[in-house]
Amino acid sequence: MSAAVKITRTGYLPAELRVLAAKSDDTAKTRRLLAIAMVLEKASRLEAARQTGMDRQTLRDWVIRFNEHGVDGLASRKPPGAAAKLSAAQMSELCDLVLAGPDPMADKVVRWRCLDLREEVTRRFCVTVPERTIAKWLRKLKLTRLQPRPFHPKRDIAAEEAYKENFSAMLKKALLGSTAATPVVEIWFQDEARVGQKGGHTYVWSKVGSRPPMIRDNRHDSAYIFGAICPDRAVGAAIIAPAANTECMNLHLQEISTQVAPGSIAGLVCDSAGWHQTGGELVVPDNIVLLPLPPYSPELNPVENVWEYLRGNKLSARVWDSYDAIVEACAAAWNFFVNDTDRIRSIGTRDWATVNV
């Protein structure tokens, strides 16, 4: 039998090695520290190896490592693994490809599957991998499947940016036609939402891999919530009506008018629905000026987010047997929201909607 390798590295007492072993979160390193501590305490190599779950040859190898590198040399070394199939630049290109989405005409699909991406990776980078590897790469890129937010095909992003940039100038121009002299201006947002028996679904917690059921009525009775909020003052104004038309809009404008602070004037941001058009039967109170949004731009109106919040928390998974039940549910949902001033500010505040007149 060959002679035992002598521990030549000094500077460590057995008690110090035991303290380091207790603090280590590497189980294998802990055993090696304890084995060397036992050797320094004059225990036999065979006994030290047995009590720490190794053989004498393995202990000999770790003594050599300890002599060469000290305590750090006892740490487990992670194997380097296989070389990456794609370079960092290629992974970045893959990420851009996934985010851009497929071309329905050229790629023959409307959304990427792992199968499609595997074929695209083979075509672009001459690398062939299993579908499960594509899924791992997508997780590594912090990508996941989400429900897209729909937008109208006629949406004009340039017009939306111009609206936000020129909002103060547009507000000033609208105020020139008002009767108030140097008023205090409040920014309000207004919209309508249909709430009916044939409602929608919302997200719920459930087990991974399952598809939880949720009730949905197929009848068609409905009501409309006309809602408006002032994020700066954290107040709102709403009515519930059987239809969306100019008559109901007039009632809503009157309600908003009562909630505007005395001596102030409200700049009311709303879309260009037919019942929002001035010059006909629409009666705009003296303390309100309308600020119409660009066409097909609901993203600029935070009240759209209010409707999503109410549907997700109060107006889904319900069955209403009558119009009165729908109205009661709408009233309860709106009161739930409007009594939460922090929520009004959180959902409604827009940096571009500022008063600078």
Distance CA 59, CA 67 (A): 12
Nearest CA to 186 out of 176, 202, 175, 194 is that of: 175
Q: CB of 232 within 8 A of CB of 256?
A: no
From first CA to last CA, the distance across the chain in angstroms is 95
Nearest CA to 271 out of 344, 156, 168, 190 is that of: 190
pLDDT for res 9: 86
Please give the helix or strand (H or E) that residue 249 lies within, else none.
Answer: helix 246-259
Domain layout of the chain by residue ranges = 14-74, 88-140, 161-348
User: Measured on CA atoms in the order 159, 162, 164, 167, is the torsion positive or negative?
Assistant: negative
pLDDT for res 12: 87
Cα separation values, 240 from 216, 223, 328, Å: 22, 7, 9
Distance CA 115, CA 120 (A): 9
**CA geometry: angle 290, 294, 298, nearest 5 deg:** 95
Q: CB of 195 within 8 A of CB of 229?
A: no
pLDDT digits over 336-348, tens only?
A: 999 999 999 999 9
| CB atoms closer than 10 angstroms to residue 263 | 9
Find the length of the chain.
357
The sheet with strand 184-196 has its strands ordered as 235-241, 222-230, 184-196, 264-270, 288-292
DSSP string computed for 308-333 = HHHHHHTSSS---SSHHHHHHHHHHH
Tokens of 36: 């060397």
Regarding pTM above 0.75, the answer is no
Please give the helix or strand (H or E) that residue 267 lies within, else none.
Answer: strand 264-270
Write out the CATH class of domain 161-348. alpha beta
The residue type at 176: L
The pLDDT tens digits along the chain (357 residues) read 567 888 888 888 999 999 999 999 889 999 999 999 999 999 999 999 999 999 999 999 999 999 999 998 898 888 888 889 999 999 999 999 999 999 999 998 999 999 999 999 999 999 999 999 999 999 999 999 888 888 889 999 999 999 999 999 999 888 886 655 557 899 999 999 999 988 778 888 888 888 898 888 888 899 999 999 999 999 999 999 999 999 999 999 999 999 999 999 999 999 999 999 988 899 999 999 999 999 999 999 999 999 999 999 999 888 999 999 999 999 999 999 999 999 999 999 999 998 865
pLDDT for res 355: 81
pLDDT digits over 28-82, tens only?
A: 999 999 999 999 999 999 999 999 999 999 999 999 999 999 998 898 888 888 8
CA atoms within 13 A on the CB side of 257: 14
For residues 113, 116, 119 and 120, what is the CA-based torsion angle, rounded to 10 degrees?
Answer: -100
